[in-house]
Chains A and B, each alone.
Chain A
Amino acid sequence: MNRYDELFDIRIADWLEGDPELAPAQVLETVRAALPSVPQRRVARAPWRVPMVLRVGFATAAIVIGVAIGAGLVGQPSGNVGGSPSPSPSPSATISATATPRAGIPTSGLVTFTSEVHGYTIGYPGEWDVRPATRKLDGTETPWDYSPAIDHFSTPTDRFGDPAGGPLGALIVGSAVVGPEVTLESWTVDTAVLVCGPPTAPEAVEVDGEPASLLTYSICNHAFHQWVTVLHGGSAYHIIWLGESGARAFDRALFEDILATFSFPPEPSATPTPS
């Protein structure tokens, strides 16, 4: 390193030295307040792996997802996970046929949940715990599983502090109001792909008759993800299943059963009723 390099390095270091050192008090207050609602992951279900978050080619992902979404819109959907049944065989049917039950995941007897914040209705296993959202997502805000902006459904064994432990299974649903410039592709890339990276095989599916994108990740932030993105009535939705990589087939089948019950809120009539 020559003298010029040294001086330049010193200049950078001195400049960085002048930046703030102390965090605002709200940082710690927020963390303290949120901590009780954030469950810890259990080692048994969370193999160590460095998340590949954001070390990805976003342009490539957008192209891949765009092609998948386009194919779904132009041709026959590859997997009809909601709305009216598709008469054609789909990859999801194949996966469902190989699914085997997972101990500790009760799935019988779906009960209906209507989200007061997000407006949709969905069926979920009645034994599961529900933590309703208290607000909508703010734009492309990440729907973390501890966010107050998401409805969180989890298996009874997925609770923090359960000494017996149990298999991970959680459903996350959230939505944000978006402008007309937001497309399914842009919403998917700006949220799911941003957090988890490009998926290996994005699928074009339908949710309650709306074209949707289903991205599957073997591991993202230590969990198996099936991440559905869909637009409806001026809002963009996330419907996310968190599970274990080893239970992929079972999780896919269960996720499809739950998605098939999903219905959007009715859109307000465009023409006012004459008085």
Chain B
Amino acid sequence: MGRRAEATVHVELVERAMRGDRDAFTSIAASSADRCYALAYRILRDPHRAQDATQQALLGAWRDLPTLRDPDRFDAWLHRLVVHACYVEARAERRWVARVRVLPIERDIDPDVARSVAARDELESAFRQLSPEHRAVVVLHHHLGYSLAEIADSLGIPAGTARSRLHHAVHRLRLVLNATDRQGVPSEERMA
């Protein structure tokens, strides 16, 4: 389940960037951009929003880097900035309602492929119904492999809150997927 996020940023680079070294921060950004984008995309489910969130998080990191107390914790700190940038992006689009209709599967498609695509679509649809806060804990836990304590630490929330959010999110996903299975066809969904 998931995978551990590797600390790819060298502490020496972080310390240089904290002292205002732009080249050092550019190196940090180069080695972190993919990881930040991957996290943002999984939360926001939109490439453009994910791109904006990644940029905001990286520039925010540069701006606030001197306030980072422990350079060893740069990666967790950056993840927090990305998640918060995702919250802002998601809220900004909350009035936009996507109306997605799952089209009937063509008869000549391999049934296994069709089932796989349909399963992914169902998960996508169910996941989009979660709030950004709930999406974040699901991604941190199931994709990055964070423990509940690490999620709490990374997001700056109590461990109990992290636990309840994850529990609620997974419970909600199951409910939606079960309902979809019963109905056969998912209908409309709501973004963020």
Contacts and interface: CB of A to CB of B under 8 A. Distances in A.
A46 B67 contact: yes
Contacts of B88: 53-54, 142, 194-195
B34 interface: yes
A30 B53 CA distance: 12
Contact of A34 (B59, B69, B87): B59
A195 B64 CA distance: 16
Given A38-B63, A40-B66, A41-B67, 13 more contacts: A9-B1, A15-B124, A20-B37, A23-B34, A23-B37, A26-B51, A27-B37, A35-B26, A47-B67, A48-B69, A51-B84, A54-B91, A142-B56
Interface in A184-242: 190, 194-195, 221-222
Contacts of A17: 143
B16 interface: no
22 contacts: A11-B119, A12-B173, A16-B143, A22-B38, A24-B51, A26-B51, A28-B33, A31-B58, A34-B59, A38-B59, A40-B63, A47-B67, A48-B69, A50-B156, A51-B84, A53-B87, A53-B88, A139-B92, A144-B59, A146-B63, A194-B88, A194-B91
B76 to A, nearest CB: 12
Nearest to A53: B84
B180 interface: no
B168 interface: no
A39 interface: yes
A39 B59 CA distance: 10
Given A16-B42, A18-B120, A27 B20 contact: no
A140 B93 CA distance: 10
Contacts of A13: 1-2, 142-143
Interface residues of A, number: 53
B36 interface: yes
Interface in B36-61: 36-38, 41-42, 47, 51, 54-56, 58-60
Contacts of A20: 37-38, 41, 47
Main secondary structure of the interface of B (DSSP, over half): helix
Interface of B: 1-2, 20, 22, 25-26, 29-30, 33-34, 36-38, 41-42, 47, 51, 54-56, 58-60, 62-67, 69, 80, 84, 87-88, 91-92, 119-120, 123-124, 133, 138-139, 142-143, 156-157, 170, 173-174
A21 to B, nearest CB: 5
Contacts of B92: 139-141, 190, 194
Q: Which of B47, B65, B88 has the most chain A CB within a 10 Å cutoff?
A: B88
B84 A15 contact: no
Contacts of B29: 28, 31-32
Contacts of A8: 170, 173-174
| 6 closest cross-chain pairs (CB), A and B | A23-B37, A50-B156, A16-B143, A23-B33, A54-B87, A46-B67
Contacts of B120: 15, 18
B20 A40 contact: yes
Given A23-B36, A35-B26, A12 B63 contact: no
Given A18-B120, A48-B67, A54-B84, A27 B22 contact: no
A42 interface: yes
A19 B84 contact: no
A273 B37 CA distance: 54
A242 B117 CA distance: 50
B38 A24 contact: no
A91 B80 CA distance: 37
B53 to A, nearest CB: 10
Given A40-B66, A50-B156, A12 B36 contact: no
A55 B133 CA distance: 9
Interface string A137-155: 0011110111000000000
Interface in A86-119: none
A88 B65 CA distance: 45
Contacts of B63: 38-41, 145-146
